[in-house]
């Protein structure tokens, strides 16, 4: 029998479509917050808990699924994850009250991290070693394009016919991804020697924890601002609701640019690229607090904040270098870290708002989080250099 021909372009497209579906639901729920909050009889800071529930699902689901599914083929795992994702988002569209919505958003988040982690590993098998970050960026391109097209579309649908249809749209996108994966994902076998115990070996690596810490704290700033961006535009900048999708698309353009440029830089100088992105984010988020008075001053700052999203691809590639044999768990944990940030940023931003510091205060909170990530980056860099100067001797095989 002849070996099936693998078409890298179609494989990457299928993987990216999953990213598009996930990106649409992850970011659209933030932009729909002003619309579903009154319908569920809650205030907007409380509605932020719905976002945190999704993020918590990612934090929990990524490591648990990666460990328990260690012996599955990557193709089977990807198809199963997107099937669960599609059903959970369809259920979110039907949520009768706030508590059911929390439960369904938690379930929707469970497949997120494991999907992106496994998809990134599959993508890197299709390209030379020196283009790994750019291959990961192609998968993440689906997510970034979602912020340009999917999120504004879901927001517009939410305004026109109701927020529930935004979640229904994501359910359909998830099923389209399942179909594409069935058609194009390479048929593979489980990784030889893979086991839950071997995957857990990633947790022994200090550099894995430091890399995850950079994302968990440093990425929180972007989510802190983005979660309340629609409310800030309506309450402070006082734009018409029709301008909100435009602002979200501008953010998406920045996210896409940052993803592509960040991946290019990461393939050339990985750790310096991570540090530069964190400092860029800290400066951009600080500017946000001064720019909210006018849409025309806010728009370029929103673009700049979006560019900070390139951190995700760079850290995903870094984990491939430090995780050794536990690639699946480490790759999935990257998205646990980012969704810890997705929970932390909105929570801290909500505290600042309810304390009376105003919607613009999310910029200051976000900048502090980005700088916190930069401090962890410094620790990781120093630790890496110390280890290279004093390598741990390898035990001889017995």
In angstroms, the Cα distances linking 103 to 127, 154, 167, 301, 333 are 39, 21, 14, 34, 22
Count of Cβ atoms closer than 10 Å to residue 260 Cβ: 18
Residue 145 domain flag: yes
Residue 1 domain flag: no
Instruction: For CA atoms 290, 295, 299, 302, give the dihedral sign.
Output: positive
Residue 394 domain flag: no
Residue 293 domain flag: yes
Look at the block and give the residue holding tokens 């200090």.
206
Residue 3 domain flag: no
33-41, Cβ contacts within 8 angstroms, sequence gap of 24 or more: 33/227, 33/228, 33/230, 33/231, 34/230, 34/231, 34/234, 35/158, 35/159, 35/162, 35/163, 36/101, 36/158, 36/163, 39/163, 40/95, 40/97, 40/98, 40/101, 41/97, 41/98
CA distance 145 to 141: 6
Token pair in block for residue 177: 């991804």
The pLDDT of residue 203: 72
Concatenate the DSSP letters of all residues of 262-318 into one string: HHHHHTT-HHHHHHHHHHHHHHHHHHHHHHTT-HHHHHHHHHHHHHGGGHHHHHHHH
**1-19 exposure pattern, b = at least 16 Cβ within 10 A, e = fewer:** eeeeeeeeeebbbbbbbbb
Token pair in block for residue 3: 């070996």
Residue 34 domain flag: yes
CATH number, domain containing residue 268? 1.20.1250.20
Per-residue pLDDT of the chain (398 residues; tens, 9 = 90+): 445 567 878 999 999 999 999 988 887 787 777 778 888 877 777 777 888 888 788 888 888 888 888 778 889 999 999 999 999 999 998 888 888 988 999 999 999 888 988 898 889 888 887 888 888 898 888 988 887 888 778 878 888 888 888 888 899 999 999 999 999 988 877 766 666 767 776 677 889 999 999 999 999 999 899 888 988 999 899 888 888 878 888 998 998 999 999 999 999 989 999 999 999 999 999 999 999 989 999 999 999 999 999 998 899 889 888 877 777 777 788 888 887 887 789 889 989 998 888 899 999 999 999 999 999 999 999 998 887 776 655 444 33
Residues 6+ apart with CB under 8 A from 179: none
Residue 2 domain flag: no
pTM value is 0.80
CA distance 334 to 320: 10
The pLDDT of residue 394: 46
Concatenate the DSSP letters of all residues of 12-23 into one string: HHHHHHHHHHHH
| Domain of residue 204, residue span | 8-387
Residue 202 domain flag: yes
Our count of domains for the chain comes to 1
């Amino acid at each position: 029998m002849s070996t099936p021909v693998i078409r890298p372009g179609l494989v990457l497209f299928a993987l990216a479509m999953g990213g598009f579906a996930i990106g649409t639901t992850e970011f659209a729920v933030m932009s729909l917050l002003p619309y579903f909050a009154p319908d569920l009889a809650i205030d907007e800071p409380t509605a932020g808990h719905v976002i945190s529930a999704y993020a918590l699902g990612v934090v929990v689901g990524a490591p648990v699924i990666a460990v328990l599914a260690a012996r599955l083929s990557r193709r089977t795992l990807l198809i199963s994850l997107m099937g669960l994702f599609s059903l959970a988002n369809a259920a979110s569209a039907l949520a009768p009250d706030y508590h059911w919505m929390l439960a369904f958003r938690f379930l929707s988040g469970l497949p997120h991290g494991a999907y992106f982690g496994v998809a990134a590993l599959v993508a890197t098998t299709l390209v030379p070693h020196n283009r790994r970050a750019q291959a990961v960026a192609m998968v993440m391109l689906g997510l970034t394009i979602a912020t340009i097209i999917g999120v504004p579309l879901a927001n517009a649908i939410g305004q026109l016919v109701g927020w529930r249809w935004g979640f229904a749209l994501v359910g359909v996108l998830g099923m389209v991804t399942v179909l594409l994966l069935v058609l194009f994902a390479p048929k593979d076998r489980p990784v030889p020697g893979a086991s839950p115990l071997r995957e857990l070996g990633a947790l022994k690596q200090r550099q894995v924890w430091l890399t995850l810490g950079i994302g968990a704290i440093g990425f929180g700033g972007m989510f802190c601002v983005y979660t309340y961006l629609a409310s800030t535009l309506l309450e402070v900048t006082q734009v018409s609701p029709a301008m909100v999708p435009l602002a979200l698309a501008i953010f998406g353009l920045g996210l896409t640019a940052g993803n592509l440029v960040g991946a290019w830089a990461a393939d050339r100088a990985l750790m310096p690229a991570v540090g530069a992105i964190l400092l860029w984010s800290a400066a951009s988020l600080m500017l946000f607090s001064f720019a909210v008075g006018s849409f025309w001053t806010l728009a370029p700052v929103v673009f700049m904040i979006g560019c900070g999203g390139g951190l995700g691809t760079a850290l995903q590639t870094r984990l491939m270098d430090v995780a050794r044999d536990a690639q699946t768990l480490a790759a999935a944990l990257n998205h646990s870290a980012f969704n810890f940030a997705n929970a932390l940023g909105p929570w801290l931003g909500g505290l600042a708002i309810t304390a009376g510091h105003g919607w613009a205060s999310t910029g200051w909170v976000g900048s502090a989080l980005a700088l916190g990530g930069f401090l962890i980056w410094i620790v990781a860099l120093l630790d890496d250099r110390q280890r290279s100067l004093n390598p741990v001797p390898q035990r001889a095989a017995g």
